[in-house]
Amino acid sequence: MAYTVPKLTDYSAGALERASAELLSALGKEAAVVKNEEEWRIFRDRWMARKNGILTQINDVWLKGAPKEAKRVTGQSVNLVKAQVEEKVDGVKARLQIPHFPTTNLGSEISESEFELEAFSKAGLVDITLPGVHREIGAEHPVIRTTNEIVSVFQKLGYSVAEGPVVETDYYNFEALNFPPNHPARDTQDTLFIAGQQSKAARERLLLRTHTSPVQIRTMEKMRPPLRIVIPGTVHRNDPPDASHSPMFHQVEGLAVDTNITFGDLKGTLDHAMKALFGSSVKTHFRPSFFPFTEPSAEMYVSCFICGGSGKRGAEPCRPCKQTGWIEILGCGMVDPNVFEFVKDNGYDPKKVSGFAFGMGADRIALLKYGVDDIQLFFQGDVRFLQQWG
Ligand code: PHE
């Protein structure tokens, strides 16, 4: 008669031992007569099937039925029995040299997923002759692509990439960049503040960064000069969306600090970068400007690569450069000594080092490069638009 799991009334150590021994002797006898793969499967399932296999039964009948005080010893016996059953089932499999996966009629092993598919197919659960789901390989977003292009131009010049948080403190976004509290220059970068910060000191309050410049400070705190970094990232401003504004946009910032860095280095570096990005025939020019964290500051323009600087496209006026022949690309300048004062302890003594910084809008450059006339298109996620970069 085939072995069945008995109910236990006596949970003494001796009784448990007897019940286990009886089970294991049945296991041994059954194992000895298994002759082929098919029989082994039946044997395995009888003992180990999760649903109603003998191991499941002893768990349910012996362990769950045990009185509280006998739970521990019963658990130990059950675990011993489990280990032996598993060992036996594996042992028989090894004796019969059953491969891990069933063989195909070509004799090679097939993979687990193929095996499952075949099983599902046989059971009528899937129709493997139906065409599969075709997933398109995504396209790089034009703004990300442009960002990567800009970054790689500077990487070739020996710059490394630095990043920082989008949710920033007032200190890094403004104060350490020489925007004192209540300074009117803050109004040029109106931002979105995180709510409920009133109990914090002003410099600790959180906001969405308005530019990537705070990463200048964060990096100078961590790394000593000389330093050459590019900083790509997302920024926010309190600007209502229109064709050329978005409350969220992207910048690429740059910072170079060393001894004897001059405005000539800034001009040479940026002129090279613009030629690498827009073609070797573009010219650059600089106009005085103001940023609290650079002195002197400038806006850099490139000659319009759409009309070639003439301001006209045939008889039509050139719109991207507003007929001026020049397009504003970025803000830049020599790092203000007041900024170095905030990181002086890390080797940035304004008497010993100098540097330049610049920041440009990657979205704006992408608009110009690809001739897109509305920045909103970049962020609406319309696949018909984005597919053009696929
Ligand atoms: N952070 C400035 C802006 O967002 C750009 C800038 C960066 C200007 C670095 C000078 C130097 O407008």
And the tokens for 355?
């540097």
User: Which of 120-134, 150-164, 284-298 is the least confident region?
Assistant: 120-134
Nearest atom, ligand 1, residue 235 CA: 4
Residue 141 CB neighbours (<10 A): 16
Contact between 212 and 230 under an 8 Å Cβ cutoff? The reply is no
Q: What is the pLDDT of residue 106?
A: 47
C-alpha pair distances (Å), 74 with each of 39, 67, 79, 80, 83: 31, 10, 9, 10, 14
Length of the chain equals 390
How many whole angstroms separate alpha carbon 335 and alpha carbon 81? 75
Band of residue 42 on the pLDDT scale cut at 50, 70, 90? very high
Q: How close is the Cα of 254 to the center of ligand 1, in Å?
A: 9
Nearest atom, ligand 1, residue 216 CA: 9
Band of residue 110 on the pLDDT scale cut at 50, 70, 90? low
Look at residue 128 and tell me whether its pLDDT is greater than 90: no
How many whole angstroms separate alpha carbon 63 and alpha carbon 210? 64
How many whole angstroms separate alpha carbon 6 and alpha carbon 28? 18
Q: How close is the Cα of 105 to the center of ligand 1, in Å?
A: 68
Contact between 31 and 90 under an 8 Å Cβ cutoff? The reply is no
Contact between 101 and 115 under an 8 Å Cβ cutoff? The reply is yes
User: Strand 248-258 to strand 167-169: parallel, antiparallel, or no bridges (unpaired)?
Assistant: unpaired
Top mutation candidate among 154, 190, 211 for ligand 1, by most atoms within 8 Å of CB: 211
State whether residue 379 is helix, strand or coil. Answer: coil
What residues does 167 pair with on adjacent strands?
A: 208
How many whole angstroms separate alpha carbon 7 and alpha carbon 19? 10
Render pLDDT for 341-355 as a digit per residue (tens, 0 to 9): 999 999 999 999 999
Residue 355 CB–ligand 1 contact under 6 Å? no
Residue 299 CB neighbours (<10 A): 17
Could you give the percent of the chain with pLDDT greater than 70? 96
User: Strand 284-291 to strand 316-317: parallel, antiparallel, or no bridges (unpaired)?
Assistant: unpaired
DSSP states along 157-202: TT-EE----SEEEHHHHTGGGT--TT-GGGGGG---BPSS-TTS-G
How many whole angstroms separate alpha carbon 382 and alpha carbon 386? 6
Render pLDDT for 90-108 as a digit per residue (tens, 0 to 9): 999 999 988 765 444 444 5
